[in-house]
Amino acid sequence: MTRNLFACHVIPTLSILLLVQIHPSTQLNNVTDYLALLAFKSHIRSDPNGMLSGNWSSNKSFCNWVGVSCTPSNNSIQRVTSLQLQGMSLQGTLAPQIANLSFLAVLDLSDNHFNGNLPSELSLLHHLKVFNVSRNNFQGPIPPSMSHCKELRELILSDNAFIGTIPQELGILRNLQILRLNDNNLTGSVPPSLGNITKLEFFYLHENKLEGSIPQEIGALYNLVLLSFRGNDFTGPIPASIFNISTLQVVDLSINRLSGHLPMENATGLNVPNLEQLYLDSNQLQGHIPVSVASASKLEYSYLSENGFQGNIPHELGNLLHLKWLQMQQNQLTGRIPSSIFNLSSLNLTGVLPSSISNASKITYLEISNNSFSGPVPPTLGHLTQLLHLNLQNNLLVNEPGKTELSFLTSLVNCKNLEYLILRSNPLNGNLPETIENLSNNLKVIDPASCGIKGSIPQGLGNLSSLLYLGLNDNDLSGIIPASIRGLQNLERLYLTRNRIEGPISFEICSLGKLGELYLGENMLFGSIPRLISNLTTLAMLSLAANRLSSTVPSSFWGLENLRGLNLSQNSLHGPLPPQVGHLKNVYAMDLSSNNLSSDIPEALGNLQSLLYLDLSKNLFTGPIPNSFGQFVIIEYIDLSSNALSGLIPKSLEALRDVQFMNFSFNELEGEIPSGRAFANLTHESFRGNQALCGSPRFQVPPCQVHSTKTRPSRSHVVKIVVPIICAILFSAICFFILVICRAKKVKSPATVDRSLPIGQWKMITIHELQLATVHFSEANLLGEGSFGMVYRGTLADGMDIAVKVLKLQQVGAHESFDAECQVMCNVRHRNLVKVITACCNLDFKALVLEFMPNGNLDQWLHSHDKCLGLIQRLDIMIDVALAMEYLHHDYSVPIVHCDLKPSNVLLDDDMTAHVSDFGIAKLLAGDKPEMLTSTLGTIGYIAPEYGLDGRVSTSADVYSYGILLLETFTRKKPTDDMFTGGSSLRQWVSDAFPDAVTTVVDNILLMETGTGHNRRNGTLEENENENPEAIEQLLVAIIHVGLSCARESPDQRSSMRDVVTKLKKIRLSLGA
């Protein structure tokens, strides 16, 4: 058979050999191996790093080629024994001629882009010991003939797209020690014959589509160290024989449909002395948790959650001294908590926390929130010296009897690694000890809100320099805010609402440059708002309400342009509201009620297009209601009552489509009350106390006098109509002229700034400067690569960081892509679109110089293991994207269709503000054409159905892509995930769970933040962790509903981006300002 293979595949390759000069040393080697390697190379379609094309040369012996190892040179003929080309980004298929390397012992092609089927000829490699093709794109079935490679020690086929069943013939491979078939699309059952591979140590089948029962024969693998069958569809009981494998260290059978009782329940033959990790969560197991689990004395991680376990928790689990994590939530457990169980949130457990809890000295997470534990917090918690995370919130825990200070906090000084300390909603009723300054320097979160904390804020708190979140709200704290708070330079959230804190707002707070949320409301603060508060440039939420502040609002205050929520109500602030209030472009809610603010309400207030809530009631404002209030696009609540406003109620307010409440009562307004739709739901209560108003009887005001005189349009009226039309025509002509110049610039000239693009004040940048900025477009500066270009990071001579998108001009459509991107990006302006700095082009080189986004793109944040986004961050990002798309679809002179909206095209700046990028295939729709046809398709998974079928694009196609993007953002599942096959899709998967089971599809990290879910990784603590689980679930339901309404099959049934912005902003506002 070997001879036939040589004849079929090698002899044709001789033509290649005749065209090259064979190196003298190669002539001494085996020509068969040489030709086999050449054939292997010929099947490589792409070698972006030049690993083979630049090294596999006939000028040297193939034994010296990269990745190739041979038998020792003292042999008369050297033979290839190892081919290791892992991680070289090679793309191609695996040549069948590889089988002619008959001495090959190691073949490692992992971490590349190979595809196609594995050739059956691999069975001829009788010396093969290691075969690793993991993390590629191989398809098709696993060849049963692989069983002929009887010397195999490692068979690693994971992270590919293999289909079909597991060949039963693999049971012949008696020398196999590692078998990795995980993360494929394998179906069927596990062959019992695999129980014959008695030398097997590592057995991975997780994340496939396998079903049936786990065969008893697996228990014969007496050398097994790791068994991972997670994420399949296995049913039936767990074979008892598995727990008789004494070498086992890790067992992961989670996320299946296994049922019955644990085989360990009777402790018959239990023999797993080396077991360290046991994952049985998310199954249908029943019965009691067996006492015999405690005999696994080395157990560190035990996940038993989301099953049907009943009865008490065995107190014998206290013997597991190495235990680091025990998860048992979402079962039917009852009774009191044993002293050694630690992660039992939301189980309605009662009783006293025993002091013997400290026996588990290696515990890192102690999570007992949302139960009914009572009694004092044990001071022995300080013996848990490796503790990272302590969450006792929502219980009935108290301080030690007779103690005024919370003594258990002093004991936590020994926990040098502690990062999270959450005590919220317990009746502790004590003082914070001064020893708090000696707590861990790693502390990121301290949250004893709603705990009855008394006394003053300790000076030593300022020593906790790593603190990000300090929640002291809803307590009984008194005294002043200590000056030492300036030491919290990393603090992002400070909550002191509803205490008895007095004195002025300290200047030290104004030095906390990273502060994003500051809540000081409902205290006894007095004096002025510090001018230096303008230093808090990252501030998004500010509440100083219900204090005794008495000053003007400093002019510098209105420079806080990142503010989203502002509440200064119930103080004694005075003076006028300046036009600079219009600088707060991002504010959603503004409450300035119950002060002594005076003078006219500035017209600039109408520029706040993001406003949903505005309350100016109970002040001393005079003059007319600004006509600009009619520009509020999404506002729902306006209260102008109890002022001294005069004049007419502007007719422009009739256009407010979403307004639910308006109050003009107790002013000096006159004239007719408008009757448009914004006023349709108002009652007479909104207009009381205005003596000169008239209008509809339902408002309980006198009717207005009717003047029926026929007049022809005034000269000024004609001017108001004609002049804008003329201006619009001139503007269109200028834009057309600019576009013609852009397209006409085809002559070759020194590459420099393309002045035809009207991007304001151009920055002159030559190609030489770009080469210096990017170190000659080095691979180290490569940020990413797309269909038409590569993006590099660069730094100009003046220190400015930039991103340079260099077009692949050899790529079909690249010129058109550049023109499209220029046509869009040089004309549109929006804070959520990536800014073009300049362009540089000639016939041989085209590049766009863009604003650099230091936080990468949304895809990296969603699908990287070292990054994590909280719920609020994700919602804010999706609002940013929606605002950008709303502008493109509705607010530009002609609708612009992006055509390729996906996570990698959503870039994030320093403040995690999102910017939409990559307009390479964008389309501008003519005003009279709501759709158009194109042959340039977007990205699979995000394309609307009508777009993929016949190339029909419209703004609705973008809305569909946005819906998929939103669903991916909150589920962290790509639409191209392997789980979506056979007609299923991300949208269908989410839709099937909506609304009752939405928590089963959203990212577990979001649930872990609220205490409603579990995850094996650390999450981030967002402000919504204050909400109860039901409220957060409803919030997620509302968000997912927006995504599903965008991703409907029919374009006519999808929401508009304007509606999406409105809905998401309402959801965001519900989280509070």
Annotated binding site for ATP: 805
The tokens describing 540, both together, are 């998004």
The tokens describing 363, both together, are 């515990």
- Identify the burial level of 1007 via C-beta atoms within 10 angstroms of its C-beta, where 0-12 means exposed, 13-18 middle and 19 or more buried: buried
Q: How far apart are CA 324 and CA 302, in angstroms?
A: 9
**Local structure of residue 1019 (DSSP, 8 states):** -
Kindly state the helix (H) or strand (E) to which residue 542 belongs, with its residue range. Answer: strand 541-543
Contact yes or no for 267/290 (Cβ under 8 A):
yes
Q: How far apart are CA 853 and CA 1044, in angstroms?
A: 30
Q: How far apart are CA 451 and CA 381, in angstroms?
A: 19
Q: How far apart are CA 680 and CA 527, in angstroms?
A: 43
The tokens describing 743, both together, are 């397209």
Strands 517-519 and 469-471: unpaired
**Local structure of residue 262 (DSSP, 8 states):** -
The tokens describing 162, both together, are 């293999």
User: Concatenated DSSP letters for 463-499?
Assistant: G-TT--EEE--SS--EEPPPGGGGG-TT--EEE--SS
Report the C-alpha dihedral over residues 797, 803, 809, 811, rounded to 10 degrees.
Answer: 160
Which residue carries 């058109």 as its tokens? 816
The tokens describing 1065, both together, are 């902003």
Question: Quick check: helix, strand or coil at residue 935?
Answer: coil
The tokens describing 735, both together, are 């834009």
- What is the radius of gyration, based on Cα positions, of the chain? 35
Given CA atoms 453, 457, 458, 464 in this order, what sign does their dihedral have?
positive
Residue 249 region by backbone torsions, left for phi larger than 0, else alpha for psi between -120 and 50, else beta = alpha
Q: Where are the beta strands (DSSP E) in 344-468?
A: 350-352, 365-367, 372-376, 389-391, 396-398, 420-422, 445-447
The tokens describing 818, both together, are 């550049």
Annotated active-site residue 876? The verdict is no
Q: How far apart are CA 155 and CA 763, in angstroms?
A: 57
Nearest to 959 by CA among 1024, 876, 1038, 1045: 1045
Strands 589-591 and 613-615: parallel
**Residues pairing with 793 in the sheet:** 803
**Residues pairing with 352 in the sheet:** 374
The tokens describing 611, both together, are 């406003």
- Identify the burial level of 193 via C-beta atoms within 10 angstroms of its C-beta, where 0-12 means exposed, 13-18 middle and 19 or more buried: middle
Report the C-alpha dihedral over residues 729, 730, 734, 739, rounded to 10 degrees.
Answer: 10
Measured distance between the N- and C-terminal CA atoms of the chain, rounded to whole angstroms: 77
- Residue 776: CB partners within 8 Å, gap ≥ 6? none
The tokens describing 114, both together, are 């190979």
Q: How far apart are CA 1052 and CA 141, in angstroms?
A: 42
The tokens describing 42, both together, are 């010929």
Question: Quick check: helix, strand or coil at residue 67?
Answer: coil
Q: Out of 900, 918, 958, 1003, which one is annotated catalytic? A: 900
Q: Where are the beta strands (DSSP E) in 835-933?
A: 836-841, 846-851, 896-897, 906-908, 914-916, 923-924, 931-933
**Local structure of residue 831 (DSSP, 8 states):** T
Which residue carries 């010129």 as its tokens? 815
- Residues noted as catalytic: 900
